[in-house]
């Protein structure tokens, strides 16, 4: 304990640890043999038959009794006892495939609506036919989810169920349109239950409960917390750490935002997450910018639910109340996927017999002299590790080409017309400006391996965010600064992709 200070001694008994899935009670496994697997599958079918409520006739939709609580509780208990990812995937696949929409009903109701559109009828008749069609489009499993949500801890269970579903999809244990549809339905329901009106904004300080500090440290996915001294800095002077909790579970972080209060827009993370102890008091006249340097979702089942956007907006409002003079808001964001994208380009060029379309002739000559080999092959080796940053010459030689390649990756590489990079897409949807790309901004192992040490500022001009957001979402226009656009122009001039 000695040397850490009296305020740290109690908290040091609780070590920082990685997030772990809660332990499930042991149960039968699909891999236990054909007989056991068959028995488990039959048990699944019987459970679903008993637990998933039937869709009552349209005329009785508001008069039918709710499903018995015990039936929903049986599903929750059975699911909780499944020990393997594959078992949970099997049950979810059967639920999605066998208890979705009744397509014959949809076809029948659709035909009725089309017929009424072709024949002059009273508006009320047409509206009721459309309502029947909407009712037919509701999948049966939605009723199960709805009833589970009313159980004690039911919403939390459904968040974990969706996390399991996403994991099973990623592992390709369960696939197909029915599964994707069920995921979308559950995401929509969670979006309603976790809308901004049900969320509480809470600030984390060093005096917050140990359990909250522990959860915040565990959930930090962008810049991992090293120890309790590091955690104390991140919630101390010139820092703000806030999270959203649900009104039913106060003190339980759902999404966490870390903010640095600085004199200017930060160009590297080393200046924010640093080793030296923080000063004890804040001087408001030294605070001119708020830097959002980390936002982390604590519940994977809430992926795609719009929490981060609401959190940034709420925190901005709170900061404006606390510091009325504060007008500069920006992120300092990682660029996950840049190194992988760049290595993919180098691989494709290597397959075409060393063809170079990324670097100028002078850059090729300089880099080859430093690395001692053909630029494409040697860079593939160097960029696959973090060793290259130890060479000052190579770092200087790579700065110009990697800066313009990164600008193109963020600005020009698209997925369905929107930014390919997920972090860029998030901030651009919020109406931020792709403002500045920073060289050697994250020299940690993670920063070097995932983005060649580069980071980017997405700046929030509050008066323009709504306009920028609409332009991006509707027309797919990216608002970028002169620095970024200049780098993009250099890329287009010097590269032949």
How buried is residue 317: exposed, middle or buried, by Cβ count under 10 Å (0-12/13-18/19+)? Answer: exposed
Residue ranges of E strands in 420-474: 433-438, 455-460
Tally helices (H) and strands (E) across the chain: 19, 9
- Roughly how many angstroms between the first and final C-alpha of the chain, as a whole number? 57
Mark out the alpha helices in 194-250 (DSSP H runs): 210-219, 228-234
Cβ(224)–Cβ(19) below 8 Å: no
**How far is the C-alpha of 396 from the C-alpha of 378, rounded, in Å?**
16
If you ran DSSP here, which 8-state letter would residue 67 be given?
A: P
The H or E element spanning position 37 is: helix 34-51
Phi, psi angles (nearest 5°) of residue 242: -130, 155
Which tokens in the block code for residue 302? Answer: 């809430």
Name the catalytic one among 266, 427, 450, 451: 427
List beta partners, residue 459.
330, 433
Cβ(133)–Cβ(106) below 8 Å: yes
**Is 427 noted as a catalytic residue in this protein?**
yes
List beta partners, residue 223.
none
Cβ(259)–Cβ(240) below 8 Å: yes
Give the distance, in angstroms, between the CA of residue 138 and the centroid of all CA atoms in the same chain.
27
If you ran DSSP here, which 8-state letter would residue 479 be given?
A: P
Give the distance, in angstroms, between the CA of residue 74 and the centroid of all CA atoms in the same chain.
31
Which has the closest alpha carbon to 310: 191, 477, 155? 191
Mark out the alpha helices in 267-414 (DSSP H runs): 308-322, 338-351, 361-371, 375-383, 392-411
Name the catalytic one among 331, 333, 450, 451: 333
**Is 294 noted as a catalytic residue in this protein?**
no
Which tokens in the block code for residue 174? Answer: 């369960």
Ramachandran category for residue 417: left, alpha or beta (phi over 0 → left; psi -120 to 50 → alpha)? left
Give the distance, in angstroms, between the CA of residue 31 and the centroid of all CA atoms in the same chain.
33
The residues that are catalytic are 333, 427
């Amino acid at each position: 304990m000695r040397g850490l200070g009296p305020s740290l001694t109690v908290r040091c008994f609780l070590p920082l640890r990685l997030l772990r899935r809660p332990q499930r009670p042991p149960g039968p496994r699909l891999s236990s043999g054909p007989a056991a697997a068959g028995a488990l599958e039959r048990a699944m079918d019987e459970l679903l038959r008993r637990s998933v409520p039937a869709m009552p006739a349209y005329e009785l939709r508001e008069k039918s009794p709710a499903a018995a609580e015990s039936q929903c509780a049986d599903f929750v208990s059975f699911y909780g006892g499944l020990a393997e990812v594959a078992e949970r995937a099997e049950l979810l696949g059967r639920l999605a495939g066998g208890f979705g929409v009744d397509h014959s009903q949809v076809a029948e109701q659709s035909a009725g609506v089309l017929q009424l559109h072709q024949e002059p009828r009273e508006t009320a008749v047409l509206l009721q036919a459309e309502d029947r069609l909407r009712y037919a489009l509701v999948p049966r499993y939605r009723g199960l989810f709805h009833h589970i949500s009313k159980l004690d801890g039911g919403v939390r269970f459904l968040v974990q169920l969706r996390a399991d579903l996403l994991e099973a999809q990623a592992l390709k244990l369960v696939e197909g349109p029915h599964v994707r549809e069920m995921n979308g339905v559950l995401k929509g329901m969670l979006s309603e239950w976790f809308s901004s009106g049900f969320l509480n904004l809470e600030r984390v300080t060093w005096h917050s409960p140990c359990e909250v500090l522990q959860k915040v440290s565990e959930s930090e996915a962008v810049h991992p917390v090293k120890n309790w001294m590091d955690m104390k800095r991140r919630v101390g002077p010139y820092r703000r750490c806030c999270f959203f909790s649900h009104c039913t579970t106060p003190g339980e972080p759902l999404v966490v935002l870390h903010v640095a209060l600085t004199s200017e827009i930060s160009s590297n993370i080393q200046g924010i997450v640093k080793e030296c102890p923080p000063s004890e008091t804040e001087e408001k006249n030294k605070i001119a910018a708020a830097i959002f340097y980390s936002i982390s979702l604590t519940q994977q089942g809430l992926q795609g639910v719009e929490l981060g956007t609401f959190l940034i907006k709420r925190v901005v409002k709170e900061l404006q109340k606390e510091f009325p003079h504060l007008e500069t808001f920006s992120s300092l964001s990682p660029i996950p996927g840049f190194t992988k994208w760049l290595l993919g380009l180098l691989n494709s060029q290597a397959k075409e017999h060393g063809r170079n379309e990324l670097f100028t002739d002078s850059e090729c000559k300089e880099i080859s002299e430093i690395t001692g080999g053909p630029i494409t092959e040697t860079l593939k080796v160097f960029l696959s590790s973090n060793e290259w940053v130890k060479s000052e010459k190579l770092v200087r030689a790579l700065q110009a080409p990697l800066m313009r390649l990164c600008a193109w990756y963020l600005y020009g590489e698209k997925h369905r017309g929107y930014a390919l990079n997920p972090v860029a897409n998030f901030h651009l949807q919020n109406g931020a400006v792709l403002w500045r790309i920073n060289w050697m901004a994250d020299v940690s192992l993670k920063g070097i391996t995932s983005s060649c040490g580069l980071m980017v500022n997405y700046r929030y001009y509050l008066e323009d965010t709504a306009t920028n957001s609409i332009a991006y979402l509707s027309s797919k226009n990216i608002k970028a600064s002169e620095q970024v656009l200049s780098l993009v122009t250099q890329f287009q001039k010097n590269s032949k992709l």
